Amino acid sequence: MGQRKDPLVATDIEVRRLINFETATDGTAVRLLVDDAAGRTVGIIFTIETLSALLMTLPTMAASAIKRAHNDSTMRITYRATDFQIELSPGNVRILTIGTPDGFTVSFSLTEEFSQELGEAHLKGIGQRAKTH
């Protein structure tokens, strides 16, 4: 049998700059092009499943880092929202898309009940819905 690598030992790539990305022609993966600390251009390929998992993890990673960097558990990273769109999809689900001036957008699916709660909390200027997970 060959030598097994320890799954907890990783090769670190220190990313200095995001250059661009490419999407596979069939849409099943993306390739991030980055410059590493040594000045090399490196391609990092993610399947859509892995990219989706990363997208769900990045906000928690960034929130953890900013809180530690400032030694303040109330610190938040916020983005100025400048536009939104609400669409009604089948099953009476609303799709809320919020955008920033630099083109970042994120979309959420809202039930009618959740949409009402969110609207009421917005009008009050404060509110919270208990986490369901």
Would you give the DSSP letter of residue 91? G
Residue with tokens 């100025």: 80
* pLDDT on residue 21: 96
* pLDDT on residue 1: 45
The rounded mean pLDDT for the chain is: 91
Is residue 72 over pLDDT 50? yes
Residue 96 contacts residue 86 (beta carbons within 8 Å): yes
Mean pLDDT on 73-95 = 93
Mean pLDDT on 85-102 = 94
pTM of this structure: 0.68
61: left (phi over 0), alpha (psi -120 to 50) or beta: alpha
Residue type, 69: A
Highest mean pLDDT among 46-50, 56-60, 87-91: 46-50
Domain ranges of the chain: 15-70, 83-124
Mean pLDDT on 62-71 = 95
Give the residue among 76, 119, 89, 84 at the shortest CA–CA distance from 105. 84
* pLDDT on residue 54: 94
Quick one: 40 exposed, middle or buried, by C-beta within 10 A (0-12, 13-18, 19+)? exposed
What kind and span of H or E run contains 107? strand 105-110
Is residue 9 over pLDDT 90? no
